[in-house]
Amino acid sequence: MFPSSSRPRPDRHQYIPMTSLGGEMEESLIPGEGGGSKAAGETFTTDDAHGEEHYSISAGSPDTAIPKGTLDPVYEAKAKVLNHAIQEIGMGWYQWQLFVVVGFGWANDNLWPIVTSLIFTPITNEFLPSRPPLLSLAQNIGLLAGAMFWGFGCDIFGRRHAFNLTLGVTAVFGMIAAASPNFATIGTFAALWSFGVGGNLPVDSAVFLEFLPGSHQYLLTVLSIDWAIAQVIANLIAWPLLGNLTCQETTTTCTRAGNMGWRYFVITMGGISLIEFIVRMVFFTIFESPKYLMGKGRDEEAVKVVHEVARRNGKTSSLSIEDLRACESAAGGRSQQTTTKAALKRKLSALNFSHVHALFANKQLAFSTSLIMLVWAFIGLGYPLYNAFLPYLQAIRGAKFGDGSTYITYRNSLIISSLGIPGALIGAVLVEVPRLGRKGTLAGSTVLTGVFLYCSTTALTSAQLLGWNCAFNFCSNVMYAVLYAYTPEIFPTKDRGTGNALTATSNRIFGVMAPIIAMFANLQTSAPVYTSGALFIAAGCLVLLMPYESQGKASL
């Protein structure tokens, strides 16, 4: 059973946390009459005929995520009204179901890059490509293209279609890839399934935030546990399939018949994504985002969606079509821009140069922004450079120790991945430890990640190698748990979207560079490990230079 909200419907004259267009909590209050208070910029009108009170917000409300004048003022005012309506409904049955199905997207975001890593060695053994890292390069290009296409596309053809199609595209191309007759074909399909995977987080986070009351935005962070669990599931399935049904490292000639494990594995992973796609399509009704509908001028449909969500939560909503139309009256009867061009303009407004300039407005802000971008870039290069070849490195090391069977290789991968779950949870605890905080936890875990990578090159037994890799994965998951929380906290609210975009872009671009660098490295040595370790240690040292510690402080 999913928990439902048991909180009573809030009085409109109580303070209700408002979420801005960017999904950030706003707590700016102005005194209200009669001992109450209301959020800055709120206005209340009374219907003389019925005595009913209608809620609206002026377009000039302060402290919005995007400064006044940047967006279409009618759109901005209506978006605030819809934010209030969602907060009024609260967290209920519909949002808890959405929490589960959105988790599918988070899981797939990690599941398929892990798939590419796990099948790297058997594919290399079977097809003997001259440039094996091209497989990882194809994947990263697909991820980058998918993030761009689905991220912008969902503002054109809707959140609902993109929400379902990303999983469908991933599932179909993933399963078809199992029939690949050569290296070029599997590389092509890796790019195609990654094209679907790349849209999961941009689309799913938008859908979830636009139905999520501001009081429960912390659930967006909780979703990260699906990311860690997906890694365990992939390795759990890979162990019997890849461990028993692929060519051994000592095999001189690897044939298709003796190397079917990776094909069965890819079909299984595609099947999992297909089941998730079916659950979303058949067993869960995803409504179109009210903000998307409103942005297209379909106000009546937006109101109907809000009321339907309220009904499913066992509540009622006071939102009416008059509340949205009142925003147009407040703007002097100006009509809202509803064209595709206007929708794209609103999307691009979060990335305009005024927000970029704001993040470099003074020396301290410029220093902080530049450092965090470098941290993301170094990790974006170091992590895939190592992780993409982890099974390959294990097999080589294991062979030297006399236990280089594929069974042992994938068993060890499962053991290593299982350390990711406690790592993510412990990271959430350490950031609240006094004197350690975000900076201390992030710097320490990042440096330790690099140190344990170096330590893995000193292993003299397979048990030692397994131990060092477990320590690496544990620390790297602590690192990611903190990094995803610390990064948005150090950006001003109104420029947070742009700051997140800059760091994500740095990470993706350097992620594409990783397999290119690996193509010129000697994979029979520990060169990728030394490079990765140096990047992690450098990133950890940069964190110590960050001018801001966000522990116990409200975000600006």
Architecture of domain 352-556: Up-down Bundle (1.20)
What b/e readout covers 376-401, taking b as 16+ CB neighbours within 10 angstroms?
Answer: bbbbbbbbbbbbbbbbbbbbbbbbee
pLDDT at 204: 83
Among 12-21, 44-53, 489-498, the range scoring the smallest mean pLDDT is 12-21
Structure tokens belonging to residue 162: 């993109």
Q: Which amino acid is at 354?
A: S
Mean pLDDT of 317-339: 72
Contacts of residues 248-251 at CB distance under 8 Å and 24 or more positions apart, as own/partner, are: 248/404, 248/405, 248/406, 249/125, 249/395, 249/396, 249/398, 249/399, 249/404, 249/405, 249/406, 249/409, 250/399, 250/404, 251/125
pLDDT tens for each residue of 212-254? 886 676 676 677 788 888 989 999 999 999 988 988 767 788 9
Query: Does pLDDT of 178 surpass 80?
Result: yes
Identify which of 413, 384, 416 has the alpha carbon closest to the alpha carbon of residue 535: 384
* Residue bearing the bigger pLDDT, 1 or 258: 258
**Cα 252 from Cα 241, distance rounded (Å):** 20
pLDDT tens for each residue of 354-379? 667 777 888 888 898 999 999 999 99
Q: How would you classify residue 21: left for phi > 0, otherwise alpha for psi between -120 and 50, otherwise beta?
A: alpha
Identify which of 544, 529, 411 has the alpha carbon closest to the alpha carbon of residue 459: 529
Q: What are phi and psi of 31, to 5 degrees?
A: -60, 140
pTM above 0.85, yes or no: no
* Residue bearing the bigger pLDDT, 420 or 319: 319
Mean pLDDT of 488-500: 65
**Cα 151 from Cα 204, distance rounded (Å):** 10
| Torsion angle of the four alpha carbons 150, 155, 160, 165, in this order, in degrees rounded to the nearest 10 | -20
Query: Does pLDDT of 69 surpass 80?
Result: no
pLDDT at 426: 85
Q: Are the C-beta atoms of 548 and 384 separated by less than 8 Å?
A: no
Among 192-196, 290-294, 298-302, the range scoring the smallest mean pLDDT is 290-294
pLDDT tens for each residue of 134-151? 998 999 899 888 877 887
Kindly give the interhelix angle for 261-278 and 93-127, rounded to the nearest 10 degrees.
Answer: 160
DSSP labels, 354-375: HHHHHTTSSHHHHHHHHHHHHH
3-state secondary structure 29-85: EEECHHHCEEECCEEEEECCCCCCEEEEECCCCCCCCCCCCCCCHHHHHHHHHHHHH
Strands 25-26 and 29-31: unpaired
pLDDT at 9: 34
pLDDT tens for each residue of 389-419? 655 565 666 656 666 677 887 888 889 888 8
The alpha carbon of 551 is separated from its chain's Cα centroid by a whole number of angstroms, namely 22
Instruction: Tell me what percent of the residues of the chain surpass a pLDDT of 70.
Output: 73
Q: Which amino acid is at 381?
A: L
Instruction: Tell me what percent of the residues of the chain surpass a pLDDT of 90.
Output: 29
CA atoms within 13 A on the CB side of 51: 0
pLDDT at 342: 58
**Cα 210 from Cα 5, distance rounded (Å):** 18
Task: Return the H-helix or E-strand segment holding 25.
Answer: strand 25-26
Identify which of 21, 16, 17, 15 has the alpha carbon closest to the alpha carbon of residue 64: 21
> Domain residue spans in the chain?
352-556
Mean pLDDT of 23-36: 32
Among 206-215, 252-261, 334-343, 546-555, the range scoring the smallest mean pLDDT is 334-343
Q: Are the C-beta atoms of 269 and 119 separated by less than 8 Å?
A: no
pLDDT at 501: 66
Q: Are the C-beta atoms of 519 and 133 separated by less than 8 Å?
A: yes
pLDDT at 180: 96
Strands 42-46 and 53-57: antiparallel
pLDDT at 460: 78
Q: Which amino acid is at 335?
A: S
**Cα 453 from Cα 525, distance rounded (Å):** 14
Kindly report the average pLDDT of the chain as a whole number: 77
Q: Are the C-beta atoms of 162 and 195 separated by less than 8 Å?
A: no
